[in-house]
Structure 1
Amino acid sequence: MIIQPRTRGFICLTAHPDGALQSVKNQIEYVKSKGELENGPKKVLVIGASTGFGLSSRIEAAFGSGAATIGVFFEKASSEGKMGTAGWYNSAAFEKEAAAAGLYAKSINGDAFSDEVKQQTIDLIKKDLGQIDLVVYSLASPRRTHPKTGVAYASVLKPIGQAFTNKTVDFHTGAVTDISIQPVDKDEDIQNTIAVMGGEDWKFWMEDLKNAGVLADGVKTVAYSYIGPELTFPIYRNGTIGQAKNDLEASVTTIDNLLADIHGKSYVSVNKALVTQSSSAIPVVPLYISLLYKVMKAKGTHEGTIEQMERLFSERLYTADGKVPLDEAGRIRIDDWEMADDVQAEVAKLWDSVTSENLSEISDIEGYRKEFFNLFGFEMDGIDYEKDTNEDVKIPSIAE
Structure 2
Amino acid sequence: MSERVLTPRNRGFLFLDSHPTGCERLVADMWQACPDSASVPEGAGPVALIIGSSSGYGLAATLAGLRRAGIRGVMVSFEKAPTERRTATAGWYRTAATAGIARDAGRDLVFLNGDAFSDAVKDQVADLVERRFGGRLDHLIYSVAAPRRTDPDTGTTYTSVLKPVGRANRTRTLLFDDQGVAEVREVETGPAEDDDVEQTVAVMGGADWERWIDHLAGRDLLGEGFTTAALSYIGSPLTAAIYRQGTIGAAKAHLEATARTLDERLGRTVGGRAVTSVNGAAVTQSSTAIPGIALYTGLLRGVLAEGMVPPVRQLAALWDQLTGAAPLSLDDEGRVRLDTWELTDEVQAAVAERWEAATTDTIDRLADLDWFRAEVRRLYGFSVPGVDYTAPVVTDVPWPAPDLAR
Residue type at the aligned position of 2:380? F
Indicate which of 341, 345, 351 corresponds to 1:337: 341
Whole-Å separation in 2 of the counterparts to 1:153 and 1:34: 41
Q: Report deviation, 1:104.
A: 0.8
Aligned counterpart, 1:105? 109
For 1:41 and 1:251, how far apart are their aligned partners in 2?
A: 28
TM-score, length-normalised on structure 2?
Answer: 0.93
Structure 1 pair 211–139 and aligned structure 2 pair: CA distance change class (3 A): same
Tell whether 2:33 aligns with 1:26.
Answer: no
How many residues are paired up? 393
Between 387-396 and 71-80, the greater mean CA deviation after superposition: 71-80
Q: Is the 8 A contact 2:69 2:319 kept in 1?
A: no
8 Å CA contact 2:164–2:245 kept in 1: the answer is: yes
Partner residue in 2 for 1:269: 277
2:205 aligns with 198
Q: 2:307: which partner in 1?
A: 301
- The 5-angstrom pairing of residues 231-380 of structure 1 reads 231-259=238-266, 260-297=268-305, 300-314=306-320, 316-320=321-325, 323-380=327-384
Q: Aligned equivalents of 1:104 and 1:366: distance in 2? A: 38
Residues 154-213 of structure 1 deviation map (CA, whole Å, 9 limit, x = unaligned): 111101111111211104431011111111122x11100000000000000011011112
Runs of at least 5 residues in structure 1 that lack an aligned partner in the other structure? none
What is the deviation of 1:19? 0.7
1:397 counterpart SS class: coil
Residue of structure 2 aligned with 1:155, choices 135, 160, 164: 160
Letter in 2 for 1:163: A
Which amino acid in the other structure matches residue 263 of structure 1?
Answer: G
* Paired residues of 1:194 and 1:241 also in contact (CA < 8 A): yes
Residue 144 of structure 1 aligns with an amino acid whose one-letter code is R
User: Deviation of residue 27 (structure 1)?
Assistant: 1.3
Report matched runs for 1:73-88 at 5 Å.
73-79=77-83, 82-88=86-92
Partners of 1:304 and 1:375 lie apart in 2 by 14
Alpha-carbon deviation of 1:318? 3.8
Unaligned runs of at least 5 residues, structure 2: none
Asked if residue 62 in structure 1 is aligned to residue 70 in structure 2, the reply is: no
One-letter code aligned to 1:142:
P
Distance 1:334 1:93 in 2: 26
Partners of 1:80 and 1:391 within 8 A in 2? no
Q: Is the 8 A contact 2:52 2:75 kept in 1?
A: yes
Quick one: structure 1 residues 390 and 81, their matched pair in 2 at CA, closer, same or farther if it must change by over 3 Å?
farther
Who is 1:2 aligned against?
5
Amino acid across the alignment from 2:288: S
Q: Deviations over 1:261-283 (max 9, x none)?
A: 11111010111111001100001
| Percent of residue pairs identical | 40
Distance in 2, matches of 1:110 and 1:319, equals: 31
Q: Given residue 198 of structure 1, which amino acid in structure 2 is its aligned partner?
A: G
Equivalent of 1:46, from 50, 56, 66? 50
Cα-Cα RMSD: 1.8
State TM-score, norm by structure 1.
0.94
Counterparts of 1:120-269 in structure 2, within 5 Å, are 120-130=124-134, 131-171=136-176, 172-186=180-194, 188-259=195-266, 260-269=268-277
> What is the CA–CA distance in structure 1 between the aligned matches of 2:95 and 2:58, rounded to whole Å?
11
Distance 1:86 1:273 in 2: 21
Q: Report the equivalent of 1:14.
A: 17
Shift in alpha-carbon separation, 1:349–1:41, aligned structure 2, 3 A: farther
**Residue deviations 1:236-259 (CA, integer Å, cap 9, x gap):** 000000000000000012212332
Tell me, what secondary structure is at the counterpart of 2:258?
Answer: helix
Partner SS for 1:217? strand
Q: What CA distance in whole angstroms lies between the structure 2 residues aligned with 1:253 and 1:304?
A: 27
CA distance in 2: counterparts of 1:222 and 1:250, whole angstroms: 13
Determine the C-alpha separation between the residues in 2 that align with 1:38 and 1:342: 40
- Residue in structure 1 matched with residue 97 of structure 2 by the alignment: 93
Q: In the superposition, relative to structure 1, how do residues 166 and 69 fare at CA in structure 2: closer, same or farther (>3 Å)?
A: same
